Amino acid sequence: MNKKQDFKIETAGSLMKDEYVSVTKDVTIEEAVVILRENVKDKHNIYYMYIVDDFKELVGVLTIRELLAADGEAKIADVMVENIVTIPVDEDQEEVASVFRDTDLVSMPVTNEDKQILGVIHVEDILDVMQLEATEDFHKMASMGTTPADFSEMGLMNASIGLLYRKRIVWLVVLVFMNIFSGAGIAYFEDIIASNVALVFFLPLLIDSGGNAGSQSATLVIRAMTIGDVKIKDWFKMFTKEISVSALMGFTMAAAVSVMGIIRGGLDIAVVVALTMTIIVIIGSLIGMSLPFVFDKLKLDPATASGPLITSIADIVGVLIYFSIASWYLSL
Amino acid sequence: MNKKQDFKIETAGSLMKDEYVSVTKDVTIEEAVVILRENVKDKHNIYYMYIVDDFKELVGVLTIRELLAADGEAKIADVMVENIVTIPVDEDQEEVASVFRDTDLVSMPVTNEDKQILGVIHVEDILDVMQLEATEDFHKMASMGTTPADFSEMGLMNASIGLLYRKRIVWLVVLVFMNIFSGAGIAYFEDIIASNVALVFFLPLLIDSGGNAGSQSATLVIRAMTIGDVKIKDWFKMFTKEISVSALMGFTMAAAVSVMGIIRGGLDIAVVVALTMTIIVIIGSLIGMSLPFVFDKLKLDPATASGPLITSIADIVGVLIYFSIASWYLSL
């Protein structure tokens, strides 16, 4: 990937190359072929011939295939395709990748505000962009910072201990402090726990299940948003569907856990655990599903709704639900 | 993406198209250009001219650029490039994408065992493959099944409730049963918990921290394996580095949690919690880092080492470490 110092990183400008051939629109096909043959030698990949007017404004395009197949005597202006997909020079590289995926083109011209061609972006370089962007999302979704400037170029094998520490520690400490709330929740229910220690057996299982279901929902939504399959307006439709899916999952998991509940804690504990499981899975799923929408609305990256973040939120909610149900049911 | 029924899905054979032009090696450049011009009209994207011998075996290649730039009188056998990257027809599509990334080619020939050309794969279709493979990995890493046949084509918006349920429930139930072990661990330490209920306040925080650090490690390794940055032989190097990184993280998080420990549980509890935090973060990280290697060694997808799976393992290990340290320290 070539980087140009004069364009912002991660924009079309930083991805483009000057490997293109352009001709003015008043030449013939035969003349254009001659110009092409004179100019291709020092260029790596040429797939299109761009046609410009006297102000260097991009007015048409021909694939090399179309150029070669056309009648040599014809004026290029008469055979050129005028409907051109162009990329503004300051477009974000993730958006550029998305345009390439949607259009199936192998090369696209980058233009300035005056529609003048500045360079071209080749699809090969988009493969690198897609890989980089996917890696950033994977890291974000495991609560790690994205430090593309140093990490992505050296890779995991060569990353220093200090760099890895800095990349990982910030969210870990934030999550420690978030967990103060689940600790406070447990402290609030100290009495019921002291008189029913068997409740603690099921604590990791229940809060984990909420977090697991929530992480699944968040991952589905984040990925669908990245691909462009889900938009912010789809929240309500997703929400109603998630209620059904999570209720089915909650019932299944409640059935699984109630067997364990009877064996380890007796019938009363089993009822509390099964009821809690159902509610935790539904609420965890709805939180996980909604959080990427919230982040998107706040102009933050939806991928910030990481598994560990959702696990911590599900912990707090789970503790409150579990011991509230236990306090209520066991005092009946 | 065109799919051919006669080739296995997700292989080179299912991705290839017959959009290519080939000539025999005894023609001249000028003759080859004529053949190209006659044949390009009905083909979508032509970037290379392939050269075959009398047995249709692929022996050389020329880019269209090289073809046009070459002397028209020359024999094609004298100017062609003989060093060709070819893709076996049964190659997995993820591997094909990786070859495209490494070579920066826009099109590659697919060959059978006799080196005969069967078709070509264009880089535009690789963009779709990369997106699909990344989505599969995201889903796996959130403990969801991959059902490309139905899910990936319809997308999240159109996926039915039943399909989403089936995609998500299997791992959720597996993890419920795995959590029997953390419950059993807690039950084993029932007495120490009953006499020190304050220990429970820190339980979610401690086991989550191990899971969070482990999820980070696993994500880093899985992604690096996918990209090809880390190989199975690198385990020991990664392991020794992970010890340092996780120890630094453990000390930092122990410092953060010890403040809370003193406030909520007194000095003794604070010591137990800080010591546990350090050990849990180190062990969680080492498990998370190693598990993708284990799965890879077992010929399973490293991405199976999902955040939820590592969280559950970290729970079991965390419960044992926490209450063992508590039993030992508080009885001193």
B253 neighbors B280 (Cβ within 8 angstroms): no
DSSP state of B132: H
Contact B43 A65 (CB under 8 A): yes
If phi over 0 gives left and psi between -120 and 50 gives alpha, with beta otherwise, what is residue A266? left
The alpha-carbon gap from B4 to the nearest alpha carbon of chain A, in Å, equals 20
What pLDDT does A260 receive?
82
CB contact under 8 A, A208 and B161: no
Q: Which of A93, A144, A203 to mutate to test the interface with B (most CBs of B within 10 A)?
A: A203
Chain A to chain B, count of Cβ pairs less than 8 Å apart? 327
Question: For residue range B255-276, what is the model confidence (pLDDT) as tens digits?
Answer: 999 988 888 778 998 999 999 9
- Residue B2, in any domain of the structure: no
Contact B288, B215 (CB under 8 A): yes
* Co-location of B112 and B192 in the same domain: no
pLDDT band with cut points at 50, 70 and 90 for residue B101: confident
**Helix and strand totals (H; E) in chain B:** 14, 6
For residues B205 and B91, membership in a common domain is answered with: no
What is the spatial distance between Cα A250 and Cα A256, in angstroms, rounded to a whole number?
10
Task: For residue A177, give both structure tokens.
Answer: 């402090």
Residue B259 vs residue B326, higher pLDDT: B326
Q: Which of B2, B223, B244, B320 to mutate to test the interface with A (most CBs of A within 10 A)?
A: B223
- Rg (chain A; Cα; Å): 29
Residue in chain A closest to B231 (alpha carbons) equals A157
Residue A301 scores a pLDDT above 70: yes
pLDDT at B89: 93
Domain end marker among A96, A128, A160: A128
pLDDT for B34 equals 87
- Report d(CA B56, CA B255) in Å as an integer: 70
Do A324 and A194 fall within a single domain? Answer: yes
| Chain B residues within an 8 Å CB radius of A320 | none
Q: Does residue B193 sit in the same domain as residue B268? A: yes
Asked if B138 and A219 come within 8 Å (Cβ–Cβ), the reply is yes
Mean pLDDT over each residue of chain B, to the nearest integer:
88
R_g over Cα of chain B: 29
Interface of B with A in 290-309 (CB under 8 A): 307-308
Give the CATH number, domain containing residue B98.
3.10.580.10
Alpha-carbon gap, residue A267 to A261, rounded angstroms: 7
ipTM of the complex, rounded to two decimals: 0.86
Answer for the pair B40, B85: CB distance below 8 angstroms, yes or no.
Answer: no
Helix (H, G, I), strand (E, B) or coil at A115: coil
Q: A6-20, A111-125, A216-230, B218-232: lowest mean pLDDT where? A: A6-20
Residues A314, A186, single domain; the answer is: yes
The answer on pLDDT for A62 being more than 70 is: yes
Q: How many structural domains is chain B composed of?
A: 2
A123 and A197 in a single domain? The answer is no
In a domain, A133, yes or no: no
For residue A163, is it within any domain?
no
A184 plus A320 within the same structural domain: yes
pLDDT at A1: 40
Q: Is B45 inside any structural domain? A: yes
Contact status of B251 with chain A (Cβ, < 8 Å): no
Confidence class of residue B331 from pLDDT cuts 50, 70 and 90? confident
Q: What chain A residue is nearest to B68 in terms of C-alpha separation?
A: A37
**Whether B110 and B196 share a structural domain:** no
| Contact state of A69 with B101 under an 8 Å Cβ cutoff | no
Residues A119 and A183 reside in one and the same domain: no
**Cα separation, B307 vs A312, whole angstroms:** 13
Length of chain B, in residues = 332
What burial letters (b/e) apply to A198-219, b meaning 16+ CB within 10 Å?
bbbbbbbbbbbbbbbbbbbbbb
The pLDDT confidence band at residue A16, using thresholds 50, 70 and 90, is very high
**Residue-level pLDDT at A44:** 66
Q: Is B213 on the interface with A (CB under 8 A)?
A: yes
With CA atoms as reference, report the closest residue to B85 among B55, B101, B105: B105
Answer whether A259 touches B (CB < 8 Å).
no
Task: List, for residues A67-91, the tens digit of each pLDDT value.
Answer: 877 888 899 999 999 989 899 999 9
pLDDT > 70 fraction of chain A, expressed in percent and rounded: 95
Measured distance CA(A268)–CA(A190) in Å, rounded: 19
Of B126, B216, B312, the CB nearest to A127: B126
Interface with B, mutate which of A68, A122, A246 (most B CBs under 10 A): A68
Average pLDDT over residues B107-136: 90
Please indicate, yes or no, whether residues B193 and B301 belong to a single structural domain of this protein: yes
Average pLDDT over residues A233-256: 95
Q: Does the pLDDT of residue A291 top 90, yes or no?
A: yes
> Within the 156-195 window of chain B, which residues sit less than 8 Å (CB to CB) from chain A?
156-157, 161, 164-165, 168-169, 171-173, 175-177, 179-180, 182-184, 186-187, 190, 193-194
Strand partners for A52: A24, A58
Q: Would residue B134 count as lying in a domain?
A: no
The answer to whether B1 and B125 are in contact (CB under 8 A) is yes
Reported as a pLDDT band with limits 50, 70 and 90, residue B316 is very high
Best CA proximity match to B269, nearest among B313, B209, B186, B329: B329
pLDDT of residue B145: 82
Most confident among A133-147, B152-166, B203-217 (mean pLDDT)? B203-217
Q: Is B55 helix (H, G, I), strand (E, B) or coil?
A: coil
**pLDDT tens-digit series, residues B5-27:** 467 778 899 899 888 889 999 99
pLDDT at B239 over 90: yes
In a domain, residue B308? The reply is yes
d(CA B332, CA A186): 26
CB contact set of B328 (below 8 Å; sequence gap of 6+): none
What the block records as the tokens of B235 is: 């385990």
Rounded alpha-carbon distances, angstroms, from residue B258 to A315, B26, B100, B159, B321: 20, 80, 51, 46, 17
Q: What is the distance between the alpha carbons of residues B57 and A252, in angstroms, rounded to a whole number? A: 57
Residue B90 to residue B296: CA distance in whole angstroms:
21
Mean pLDDT of A172-187: 91
Here the CATH number for the domain that contains residue B209 is 1.10.357.20
The tens digit of pLDDT for each residue in A90-145 reads: 999 888 988 888 887 888 999 999 999 999 998 888 888 888 888 888 888 888 88
- pLDDT confidence tier of residue A297, bands split at 50, 70 and 90: very high
DSSP string, A79-101: HSB-----EETT-BHHHHHHHHH
Q: What's the CA gap between B140 and B307, in Å, rounded? A: 9
Is the confidence at residue B152, as pLDDT, over 80? Answer: no
pLDDT of res. B1: 40
Give the integer Cα–Cα distance in Å for A23 and A49.
Answer: 7
Virtual CA dihedral for A249, A251, A254, A256, nearest 10 degrees? -70
Q: Name the helix (H) or strand (E) containing B60.
A: strand B58-63
Checking if the pLDDT of B147 tops 70, the result is no
Whether residue A26 sits in one domain with residue A104: yes
d(CA B119, CA A10) in angstroms, rounded, equals: 35
- In the structure, what pLDDT confidence band is assigned to residue A3 with cuts at 50, 70 and 90? very low
Which residues from A are below 8 Å from B42, CB to CB? none
Q: Is residue A164 part of a domain?
A: no
Residue with tokens 């929740």: A185
Q: Residues B70-76: what's their mean pLDDT?
A: 88
Q: Of the residues A65, A100, A128, which one is the last residue of a structural domain? A: A128
Q: How many CB atoms lie within 10 A of CB A72?
A: 12
Which of A40-54, A271-285, B81-95 comes out lowest in average pLDDT? A40-54
Query: What is the phi/psi pair of residue B13, to 5°?
Result: -60, -35
Please state, for a pLDDT cut of 90, what percent of chain A lies above it: 53
Cα–Cα distance for residue pair B158/A229, rounded to 1 Å: 9
Q: HSE of A269 in the Cβ direction (CA atoms, 13 Å)? A: 21
User: How many residues are present in chain A?
Assistant: 332
Indicate whether B146 belongs to any domain: no
Domain that includes residue B47, residue range: 12-128
Mean pLDDT score across all residues of chain A: 88
Look-up of token digits 């709330």: A181
Residue A328 · residue A267 · CB < 8 Å? no
Name the helix (H) or strand (E) containing B46. Answer: none
CA gap B318, B322 in Å, rounded: 6
How far is Cα B282 from Cα B277, in angstroms, rounded to an integer?
9
Instruction: Tally Cβ neighbours within 10 Å of residue B72.
Output: 12
As a whole-number percent, the residues of chain B with pLDDT over 70 amount to 95
pLDDT at position B62 over 50:
yes
Give the predicted TM-score (pTM) of the model.
Answer: 0.86
Q: Is the pLDDT of residue B244 over 90?
A: yes
Domain endpoint, select from B99, B128, B157 = B128
Q: What does the buried/exposed string (b/e) look like for B183-208 if buried means 16 or more CB atoms within 10 Å of the residue's CB?
A: bebbbebeebbeebbbbbbbbbbbbb
Asked if A322 and A195 sit in the same domain, the reply is yes
CA dihedral B297, B299, B302, B303 (to 10 degrees): -160
Higher pLDDT, B28 or B41: B28
